[in-house]
Amino acid sequence: MSTNIETIAVSRNDGAAASLGDYAGKVRLVVNVASKCGLTPQYEGLERLYEDKRAAGLEVLAFPANNFKGQEPGTDAEILDFCTTQYNVTFPLFAKISVLGDDRHPLYSALVEAKPEATGEGPFRERLKGFGVERDNPADVLWNFEKFLIGRNGQVVGRFSPDVKADDPRLVAAIDAELAK
């Protein structure tokens, strides 16, 4: 039986206790993020998406993770400073967690269990292989900026590969379909 994603304890960037249930009734886009990644400029698109669709009920929830080549080495305070000064991020930022391996956070275990395959999978996985990066388990989070879409009802309804940007028509259509419910 799968875990209720909305009840899993997480911490906000400032250390305050939280859960995805704090955003119940909203459409949530959960993204594992990093400050020193080739995909880091996706913060800009994610912020634009959040600004465009927040009034309709979208929340972008960012979870910094240092699982991929040490690309998120900062403290929670340093990450917040980077996100706000470099990308004017206003969407919720959470405390750094692990999204891969033996210490994977229960939230990410539940997300992966609920949606083991990502839309857009393929080209990015092949690019990573060129850098010697291969995942033993194809269901594992592939890299920074993988996106999980959670509907208003708390169910995981989509998962998108790290190279699927915030303005990708596949992601936007999935978000809009959930916002319409």
List, in sequence order, the alpha helices (H) in the chain. 42-53, 76-87, 106-114, 123-130, 169-179
Active site residues per annotation: 37
Q: What is the pLDDT of residue 130?
A: 84
Burial (CB count <10 Å: 0-12, 13-18, 19+), residue 146: buried
Q: State phi, psi for 99 to the nearest 5 degrees.
A: -115, 5
Rounded to whole angstroms, the Cα distance separating 161 from 32 reads 11
Rounded to whole angstroms, the Cα distance separating 6 from 84 reads 26
Please give the DSSP secondary-structure letter assigned to residue 12.
B
DSSP string, 146-161: -EEEE-TTS-EEEEE-
Tell me: pLDDT of 1 over 50.
no
Contact 29, 66 (CB under 8 A): no
Q: What is the pLDDT of residue 124?
A: 84
Domains and CATH numbers, the chain: 8-180 (3.40.30.10)
Block residue for tokens 């388990």: 137
- pTM for the structure as a whole: 0.96
pLDDT band per the 50, 70, 90 thresholds, residue 2 = low
Task: Compute the average pLDDT of residues 150-165.
Answer: 96
Task: Tell me the per-residue pLDDT of 77-134, one tens digit each, with 9 for 90 and over.
Answer: 999 999 999 999 999 999 999 999 999 999 999 999 999 999 987 788 888 888 888 8
Quick one: which H or E segment has residue 22? none
Of the chain, the end-to-end C-alpha distance in Å amounts to: 25
Task: Compute the average pLDDT of residues 148-167.
Answer: 96
Rounded to whole angstroms, the Cα distance separating 58 from 90 reads 13
